[in-house]
Amino acid sequence: MIVVQSTFHLLPDSKDEALELMRNMVRLCRQEHGCLTYEYYEGVTDPYRVVLLQEWEDADCLQGHYQTDHMEDFLAKLGRYLESPVSTRSYISQEESGLTAQAPDESPASEQTIH
């Protein structure tokens, strides 16, 4: 499983329009092959900070998502609602990557990302 976390810092004057664009993405992305979860979360201490958490069956499904028309449309419109660039991190779950649990005294496994 692939987990992607993206953080958006929205402009206050256009927050409602940005959230509507995001609602539409949730509806469309949840219909995609391999989409396990796709949801945006509004910050409690900063209402203009929105975090997207999405889970995909595998890297092929995620790459397919990046190639959809609705993703292209979303990215074309998103910039007008942002105060700063989006930050994104992608992770492979340990179950899928074959990593095993570590003892507390072992050094941490290296972080794996997919972009």
With CA atoms as reference, report the closest residue to 13 among 48, 44, 42: 48
**Sign of CA pseudo-dihedral 76, 68, 89, 24:** positive
- Domain made up of 2-97: CATH architecture: 2-Layer Sandwich (3.30)
Task: Dig out the tokens for 55 from the structure.
Answer: 């889970």
Task: Dig out the tokens for 16 from the structure.
Answer: 């409602």
Q: Are strands 2-9 and 35-42 parallel, antiparallel or unpaired?
A: unpaired
What integer pLDDT is reported at residue 89 of this predicted model?
Answer: 96
Give the three-class secondary structure for 108.
Answer: coil
Task: Please give the distance of CA 92 from its chain centroid, rounded to a whole number.
Answer: 13
**How far is residue 77's CA from residue 73's CA, in Å, rounded to a whole number?**
6
Q: What is the mean pLDDT of residues 53-57?
A: 98
> For the whole model, what pTM was predicted?
0.79
Only one residue has tokens 């095993």, namely 100
What integer pLDDT is reported at residue 96 of this predicted model?
Answer: 52
What integer pLDDT is reported at residue 95 of this predicted model?
Answer: 66
In this predicted structure, the answer to whether residue 114 has a pLDDT above a threshold of 90 is no
**How far is residue 15's CA from residue 8's CA, in Å, rounded to a whole number?**
11
User: Which alpha helices (H) appear in 1-115, and where do they start and end?
Assistant: 15-29, 59-66, 69-78, 94-97
Q: Give the pLDDT band of residue 98 (cuts 50, 70, 90).
A: low
Q: Give the pLDDT band of residue 113 (cuts 50, 70, 90).
A: very low
pLDDT tens-digit series, residues 11-35 = 999 999 999 999 999 999 999 999 9
Q: Give the pLDDT band of residue 94 (cuts 50, 70, 90).
A: confident
